[in-house]
Amino acid sequence: MGATLAMSLTALGAAYGTAKAGTAISTAGTFKPDMVMKSLIPVVMAGVLAIYGLVAAVLIAYDIDASNKGYSPTNGYLDLGCGICVGLTGLASGYAIGVVGDACVRECVQQQKLYIGMVLILIFCEVIGLYGLIVGLMLSTKKN
């Protein structure tokens, strides 16, 4: 269950961030086609969230298969906590990237000075998912 939650929730967050930022990129691309490549940063950052979920899901699945001594309830709860932690932070991070990417890409067309600020805000949005992955890895490696 933890592997499923980690992968599915981070994929939902990545999909939302990609869709929301992608619509802004397509709108902004009609006004300034030269800004399209610079505006792809929110889409790339949202895609990284799904990789975080994949890493956590593979770690959880490997622990289930590799345990020849049995799978205790404590290990199950730790894996579930890992999946919930990585999944929910990935979902929140994807939502934040989508909202920030949508607003900032539309504004960067009018004022190109906002580009560096957009990148910094997107980094802080991405860090939410990274912190969730770190806590999830700590939970996953805390087994007996």
Q: What is the pLDDT along the chain (144 residues), one digit of tens a residue?
A: 989 999 999 999 999 999 999 999 998 888 888 888 888 999 999 999 999 999 999 998 887 766 567 778 888 899 999 999 999 999 999 999 999 999 999 998 889 899 999 999 999 999 999 999 999 999 988 876
Can you give the pTM of this predicted structure? 0.89
- Report how far residue 53's alpha carbon sits from residue 14's, in angstroms, rounded to the nearest whole number: 10
